Structure 1
Amino acid sequence: MRSLPLKLAPGSDLLISLQKIAQEQNSSGFVLGVVGNLSRAAFQCPGQSGPTVLEGNLEIITLNGTVSPNSVHLHLSLSDSACQVWGGHLEPGTLVLKGADLLVGLLDQSLPQEPSDPSQAPRVEIAVLPGCPWSTRALRMLGSLSIPHTVKSIDNDASFKAFNQRSELNTFPQVFIDGELIGGYDELSKMHASGQLETLR
């Protein structure tokens, strides 16, 4: 196992950033440690129908779990300004306030990797806007159905312009299958309702 230090800038989406690193490294691993704070935290509490969302100056206490190119399963605990502790399953839309330093342990490959085969890449690609509730719902749907997917975070003007030119859309999420735009959350939801989405596992 090798250790990879990460420094996340203000406004970074914690979950999306970790999944992006796993995809770039093409490796699975664990979060070994974290220090930082959040401006917004989204997490799923046991027995609740939807995520709990807190905003303010939130201090990260722990972040435990696994990361891989196709999924992130992490549990977050944090403290609010009154020192009340919260926690649950980390959801998209959890945003860094001033900064976050993480140490991720990535599993070494026992055999040399073959050159990447485009046919083995996830068929689903999704561009999301950090903090966007529809992007969060789309990511949750893909994750709950175990649909392999690549996440692109729209966190600067250049990435926004690139996807705007590609799709001619100004809204997010934007979902592509085999490189072709299918639309946003509504279209993804319709595919789920018809059973088409499950065929992409």
Structure 2
Amino acid sequence: MRTTPIKLAPGDDLRMRLEQLAREEQASGFVLGVVGNLSRAAFQCPGPPEPTVMEGDLEIITLNGTLSPNGVHLHLSLSDGACHVWGGHLEPGTLVLKGADVLVGWSESTSPAAAAAVVAPSQPARVEVAVLPSCPWSRRAVRLLRTLQIPHEVVSVEDDDTAKGFMERSGMRSFPQVFVDGEAIGGYDSLSEWHSEGRLASLR
């Protein structure tokens, strides 16, 4: 195993910097350790549709999870000024206050060529997701696919004509809309059900 220490400066986005590192390294790995503090923390708790956002002088307690060129899956815990501990799935918008040091370990079995194959598969992705930019369930659907490293295509629905086209295609009125091999399977709940049944694994 090889390791990479990174030093984050004030104002750096913790999640985005780690995503950038994995793309630059074209490798998969995991967080070995972290020390630092935050001015703003965004994390997804189980249940609520929107991330929890906290601001202040926040101390990082732990950061655990995995990185790959296709995305990251990280869990953050932190302490506020009253020593209350909070935590959840790390979201963009988590900003470093004075500084943070993170040590990342890389899997020796992951070569740059293999990692690049995950990002740019030789065959078209079998999964297509139509998402609304401001929709939390759309973000969850994309995050689930990234976490499971399922090759997929994301279409951002930003105008009425695009929305109408997808609604006519799927027969659905809500978003996200997930298609597998061109057939609509439903929204986030259906995608999650496919995951729980082990059906998504066959789409890698």
TM-score range, shorter chain: 0.5 to 0.7
Looking at structure 2, the residues matched to 43 and 69 of structure 1 have their Cα atoms a distance apart, in angstroms, of 21
Determine the structure 2 residue equivalent to 1:8: 8
Determine the structure 2 residue equivalent to 1:78: 78
Give the superposition deviation at 1:109.
3.6
The Cα offsets for residues 77-131 of structure 1, whole Å up to 9 and x where unpaired, read as 00111111111111111111111100000112476848x689549x9xxxxxxxx
User: Does the Cα contact within 8 Å between 1:14 and 1:96 map onto a contact in 2?
Assistant: yes
Task: Structure 1: give runs of 5+ residues left out of the alignment.
Answer: 124-132, 150-175
Determine the structure 2 residue equivalent to 1:34: 34
With the length of structure 1 as denominator, give the TM-score of the two structures.
0.63
Looking at structure 2, the residues matched to 119 and 54 of structure 1 have their Cα atoms a distance apart, in angstroms, of 36
After superposition, residues 1-201 of structure 1 pair within 5 angstroms as 1-109=1-109, 113=113, 120=121, 140-146=140-146, 186=158, 190=163, 193=176, 195=178
Give the superposition deviation at 1:194.
5.3
User: Does the Cα contact within 8 Å between 1:3 and 1:103 map onto a contact in 2?
Assistant: yes
Q: What RMSD in Å do the two structures reach over aligned CA positions? A: 3.8
Aligned residue type for 2:158:
D
Shift >6 Å, 4+ stretches: 135-138, 196-199
Aligned length: 161
Looking at structure 2, the residues matched to 135 and 95 of structure 1 have their Cα atoms a distance apart, in angstroms, of 22
Looking at structure 2, the residues matched to 66 and 48 of structure 1 have their Cα atoms a distance apart, in angstroms, of 23
Give the superposition deviation at 1:143.
1.6
What fraction of aligned residue pairs are identical, expressed as a percent?
57
Q: Is the alpha carbon distance of 1:10 and 1:141 closer, same or farther for their aligned partners in structure 2, counting shifts above 3 Å?
A: farther
SS at match of 1:39: strand
Looking at structure 2, the residues matched to 113 and 145 of structure 1 have their Cα atoms a distance apart, in angstroms, of 21
Looking at structure 2, the residues matched to 31 and 91 of structure 1 have their Cα atoms a distance apart, in angstroms, of 16
Q: Is the alpha carbon distance of 1:84 and 1:49 closer, same or farther for their aligned partners in structure 2, counting shifts above 3 Å?
A: same
Looking at structure 2, the residues matched to 102 and 30 of structure 1 have their Cα atoms a distance apart, in angstroms, of 10
Looking at structure 1, the residues matched to 72 and 139 of structure 2 have their Cα atoms a distance apart, in angstroms, of 11
With the length of structure 2 as denominator, give the TM-score of the two structures.
0.62
User: Does the Cα contact within 8 Å between 1:138 and 1:185 map onto a contact in 2?
Assistant: no
Q: Is the alpha carbon distance of 1:98 and 1:90 closer, same or farther for their aligned partners in structure 2, counting shifts above 3 Å?
A: same
SS at match of 1:34: strand
Aligned residue type for 1:29:
G
The Cα offsets for residues 124-157 of structure 1, whole Å up to 9 and x where unpaired, read as xxxxxxxxx95998755522344658xxxxxxxx
Q: Is the alpha carbon distance of 1:21 and 1:112 closer, same or farther for their aligned partners in structure 2, counting shifts above 3 Å?
A: closer
